[in-house]
A = this chain, B = another copy of it.
Amino acid sequence: MAKLKKSSKDAVGRLAALRAQLKLAKLDGFIVPYADEHQNKFLPPRAERLAWLTGFTGSAGLAVILADEAAVFVDGRYTLQVRAQVDGDLYSYHHLIDEPVTGWLEKNLSKSTRLGYDPWLHGVRGVECMRKACDKAEAEFVAVEANPVDAVWSDQPPSPQTPIVPHELRFAGRASTKKRQELTERLTENDTEAVVLTQPDSIAWLLNVRGNDVDYTPLPLSFAILNADATVDWFVDPAKVSDDLTAHLGNGVRCHKPDALGKALDKLGKAKSRVQACPDTTAAWVFHRLAAAKADIRRAGDPVTLPKAIKNDIELDGTRAAHRRDGVALTRFLAWLAATVPDGGVTEIGAVDKLAEMRGGGEHFRQLSFGTISGAGPNGAIVHYRVTPETDRPLASGELYLVDSGAQYLDGTTDVTRTGAIGTPSAKMCDRFTRVLKGHIAIATAQFPAGTTGAQLDTLARQFLWQSGLDYDHGTGHGVGSYLGVHEGPQRIAKADTAQALKPGMIVSNEPGYYNEGAYGIRIENLVAVTVTDAIEDAEREMLSFETLTLAPIDRACIETSLLSEAERAWLNGYHARVMTEIGPLVDENTRKWLAEATQPLS
């Protein structure tokens, strides 16, 4: 509670300061989204304006500040968190999806209100929707030149300035020149002369470079223009670019200071170039500048997203190696847990630290791929739980413990969830765990024709929970990068269709779950790679299936064996035998003994 009061006091002063600043700027209001100039998932500290202003630390949301009112919008994951972190006397709470900000603007803006927004922090599509809402209310929607939050945030951190390094060909698997050539061939077919790229992972993939500007993902923050001749104009802080990197990039990449982007867009406009940019992920600023320069703008998705998602053979070999190393770390952690927890004293934070220690030593290890979710008992039911000293719980007997973690290795990115029983689980826990496991196995063993989307497979993971009137409120799987984002598109496995077919080489997570609020959470997550299935006798279609990448035991103590079919039991036993074969020789004697026991066939 002390913490809440403190942040509340801050929040009062900060809100007042922002309102004063808005007045100076002749604005009646301002929109503060959770966003940076690159639509990153993890923001650099400098871009944490929403958290600084309101206290809300979730990874999606938006605040609207008016002279007499302020509203904060978050999605279903953060309904509780926003109430704990944001002062209800200052802000009204709203649901980002059910009660969209556009509707709120229509109702709450008065005629002639000047509502400001930072065109660097919104995609052009979002700006257009909000502008429509302002039009309905006869309010003005005004792009600012400088963000007023920055003006009042006196100790705002500087832009990150970490060095950018080459991503070696032995990890990337394909030279940047080849990637650029392939991309521009397709663009030329569509008569496109240039593409503006603003997503850092797209640029990192295209140029085979990595950085360290945000937590958990090796991203260099920058902008780029890919030209039809396969050259790239790269807008990046020169301090981040070493001579080695320049040599790695070669002649086809011209470096410019970031603030040269505007002039470059003007030049494209003057030449009446056909320029492509993504209306969802590229800042409205880019579109506005291109439009002002009279460029022929083509709205289309980032063309890097799909080829980046389809891993080449070297990336796939790398990810297999990374998963073996990660499996060793997780197995050592699970063995430690089994040995230590019965003596008491292990808490969620202690487990996070121990797991980080186990991973830290691995070859090619660079950092964790996201903040570890370490939830004992009821905390396991909070899907995006992050333990704090205030919420830290011991791993207590009779409860389940859920740990969702991953790491960035030079040769691959991992993401794995295991749920285990501390002491003896209840029959209900085992029933639920087994239904989740059956769903996991249904995805792991699915075969499907080329052209199938993740949405078409999603129900396979849920069907056994549905039979008991249960479900989970998150997707079944997300795309994963290769030493890049632990979440990436365009593919996923979820209820809502993305229209993106699963393609050989894509990596997705397979993570059904079940959450009993106030009691326990269950999730079983492996990463899988889409592969071509060519061993079916008399097959009439081109079929695909999944190769499971993650290697770590699944807690047999939580399985109600009678609920498994023969085929499901065979899959689990086969998987465990593989874990023993691949991980067993790589761990110490004690861990190996524990693993041998943990991977015994089901009786």
Given contacts A455-B455, A459-B457, A495-B456, contact A469 B565 (CB under 8 A): no
- Whether A98 is near chain B, meaning CB under 8 Å from some CB there, is no
A window 86-128: CB within 8 A of B: none
- Whether A291 is near chain B, meaning CB under 8 Å from some CB there, is no
Given contacts A447-B469, A449-B471, A471-B449, contact A497 B539 (CB under 8 A): no
Q: Do A543 and B469 touch (CB < 8 A)?
A: yes
A window 186-224: CB within 8 A of B: none
Chain B: CB-nearest residue to A448: B466
Contacting residue for A468 out of B466, B468, B471, B539, CB 8 A? B539
A window 532-566: CB within 8 A of B: 533, 536, 538-541, 543, 565
Chain B: CB-nearest residue to A458: B456
The number of times this chain is found in the oligomer is 2
State how many residues of chain A have any CB contact under 8 Å with chain B. 28
On chain B, the residues within 8 Å of A536 by CB distance are: 467-469
- Whether A470 is near chain B, meaning CB under 8 Å from some CB there, is yes
On chain B, the residues within 8 Å of A466 by CB distance are: 446-449, 543
Q: Do A471 and B565 touch (CB < 8 A)?
A: no
- How many Å from the CB of A376 to the closest CB on chain B? 22
A469 and B538 CA atoms in complex are apart in Å by 7
Chain B: CB-nearest residue to A534: B469
On chain B, the residues within 8 Å of A497 by CB distance are: 455, 497
Q: Do A446 and B463 touch (CB < 8 A)?
A: yes
A448 and B468 CA atoms in complex are apart in Å by 10
Chain B: CB-nearest residue to A469: B539
A window 451-478: CB within 8 A of B: 452, 455-460, 463, 466-471
A427 and B71 CA atoms in complex are apart in Å by 67
Contacting residue for A471 out of B457, B463, B470, B541, CB 8 A? B541
On chain B, the residues within 8 Å of A446 by CB distance are: 463, 466
A458 and B469 CA atoms in complex are apart in Å by 19
A538 and B457 CA atoms in complex are apart in Å by 26
On chain B, the residues within 8 Å of A471 by CB distance are: 449, 540-541
A window 216-264: CB within 8 A of B: none
One digit per residue, 1 when the CB lies within 8 angstroms of any chain B CB and 0 when it does not, for chain A 413-452 equals: 0000000000000000000000000000000001111001
On chain B, the residues within 8 Å of A452 by CB distance are: 495
A457 and B458 CA atoms in complex are apart in Å by 9
A351 and B471 CA atoms in complex are apart in Å by 47
One digit per residue, 1 when the CB lies within 8 angstroms of any chain B CB and 0 when it does not, for chain A 67-87 equals: 000000000000000000000
Question: Can you spell out 30 A-B residue pairs with CB atoms less than 8 angstroms apart?
Answer: A446-B463, A446-B466, A447-B466, A447-B467, A447-B469, A448-B459, A448-B466, A449-B471, A455-B455, A455-B456, A455-B497, A456-B458, A456-B459, A456-B495, A457-B459, A459-B459, A459-B460, A460-B460, A460-B463, A468-B536, A468-B538, A468-B539, A469-B533, A469-B536, A469-B540, A469-B541, A470-B541, A471-B540, A471-B541, A497-B497
In the complex, given contacts A448-B459, A471-B541, what are 11 additional A-B residue pairs having Cβ atoms less than 8 angstroms apart? A447-B467, A455-B455, A456-B458, A456-B459, A457-B459, A459-B459, A466-B543, A468-B538, A468-B539, A470-B539, A470-B541
